Structure 1
């Protein structure tokens, strides 16, 4: 799930008119959800802050939130607040995830899917990214470099995740944003692969950093072909690295068996 830190409402929500206050609040929040700005699991501002930002009374706000909850778009947790409800469900159920862990071809199918979707997203992002999108990506690239220089694996993983998310968001395609958010969260949790393993193949992690810089800068500079190629090359590198790693593990396993047998002679 995305981080559930409360939003700052001032720049996100706008005061509504007075023709139908509750309906206007519903429409504004629905628009933010549909556009992929408010994603599943995101906590809305406090009732007080949200009512003040929208310029409505708290009873009218509660009426709007109740309507959104009846439509399955938000969930209110007593003592915690109101959150955007799960919208796309789980990308894969636990049984299928377990199968992927045991079935090597399925894992590479997952990478193939990501490669095509992220290539498409990167091309759209380079064509459509706004000034705000580009500023966000530039900030994440700085964090990527900082984390690499300081050899901070946790920060590197988070910056990696944030970059891919920011580029998909910059595609401005709501369906792509919602679907990839579900896939990215599984990747972030290490369900499909451990990013640290790639670093062992890479040696220092510098290649991963360079790939991320190329991808992010191509989007910032508005070069669709370069951005798409950078995304495709990055996922292809991930695939090649895992194939190499798996082959090496298999060779080591066979070598260990030969070593043990030689001792029995």
Structure 2
């Protein structure tokens, strides 16, 4: 559940239910409330906004009717699936098994992440930059400890933080969907990438380079650094897969020769 502090604003309009509804819709649109996020309780919302609980309940029901939230009795209210449903489980499974589709995924990320990095350099707030720096510090620590799980978690968090710092609602929701699938390993096998010698250090440096460009407010450099990062990922995957194929052929030849001895 998200913290209620500084999330909602007091309401002094005549149409109370409309105002409550519009505030929550605005937070969803801006990407502050992402799908799956648990909303604060009715009591917390009503106290923060300065309205009655029945009015909050009516607004939440309106949002549920609009398919923007789901209300689970005994559990609370949650932001409904917003983007992920655009891809069916069958299509996701097909894409995950298709090598060409994987490189299409990287091509899409290259364009969108370059755009996001440029916007972040231009629009990021002080809090956005502090969040990015904290994630970079986590990435440094994970690399030093050779912690692949923490590296993967903070890798995705870093890219998501850049998208959030773009303050572009469409980009935030589309890329949140992509990163959710990435986190589940549908597209992006970071463990395989890190198994290639030296990629861990290079990935960290590339993230640092993107961060430096954003911190210095240089949109062009941020976009270029983001493009280079995805280009490196694609090249590394191609080289790694070529090496795997060569090793497989070598193992078959060796097995055949052993059988003839």
What range is the shorter-chain TM-score in? over 0.9
Counterpart residue number, 1:129: 124
Root-mean-square deviation (Å): 1.4
1:27 deviation in Å?
A: 0.9
Q: Which residue of structure 1 aligns with residue 95 of structure 2?
A: 100
Return the match for 1:156 from 131, 134, 151.
151
- Tell me the equivalent position of 1:56: 51
Q: Give the secondary structure class of the aligned counterpart of 2:71.
A: strand
Deviation at 1:78, TM superposition (A): 1.2
Residue number in structure 2 paired with 1:252: 247
**C-alpha distance in structure 2 between counterparts of 1:147 and 1:83, whole Å:** 32
Displacement of 1:204 in angstroms is: 6.3
Question: Is the CA contact 2:31–2:172 (under 8 Å) kept in the aligned structure 1?
Answer: yes
Which residue of 78, 82, 91 maps to 2:73?
Answer: 78
TM-score (norm 1): 0.94
Q: Deviations over 1:22-64 (max 9, x none)?
A: 1110111111111111111111112221111111111111011
Secondary structure of the corresponding residue to residue 11 of structure 2: coil
Which of 114, 118, 128 lines up with 1:119 in the alignment?
A: 114
Q: Show structure 1 runs of 5+ residues with no match.
A: 1-5
**Are the structure 2 counterparts of residues 8 and 40 from structure 1 closer, same or farther at C-alpha, using a change threshold of 3 Å?**
same
Task: Name the CA distance, whole Å, in 2 between partners of 1:125 and 1:221.
Answer: 11
Distance in 2 of aligned mates of 1:10 and 1:61: 17
* TM-score, normalization by structure 2: 0.95
Would the aligned equivalents of 2:193 and 2:199 in 1 still touch at CA under 8 Å?
A: no
State the alpha-carbon separation in 2 of the partners of residues 141 and 211 from structure 1: 11
Q: Secondary structure at the match of 2:245?
A: helix
For residues 69-126 of structure 1, what are the alpha-carbon distances to aligned partners after superposition, in whole Å with 9 as ceiling and x for unaligned? 1111111111111011111133532222332233211111111111111111111111
The answer to whether the Cα contact below 8 Å between 1:90 and 1:182 also exists between their aligned partners in 2 is no
CA distance in 2, matches of 1:25, 1:103: 45
SS of alignment partner, residue 201 of structure 1: coil
Contact 1:137 1:220 (8 Å CA) reproduced: no
- Structural mapping, 1:87-236, within 5 Å: 87-90=82-85, 92-203=87-198, 205-236=200-231
Structure 1 distance, partners of 2:101, 2:78, is 33
Q: How many residues align?
A: 260
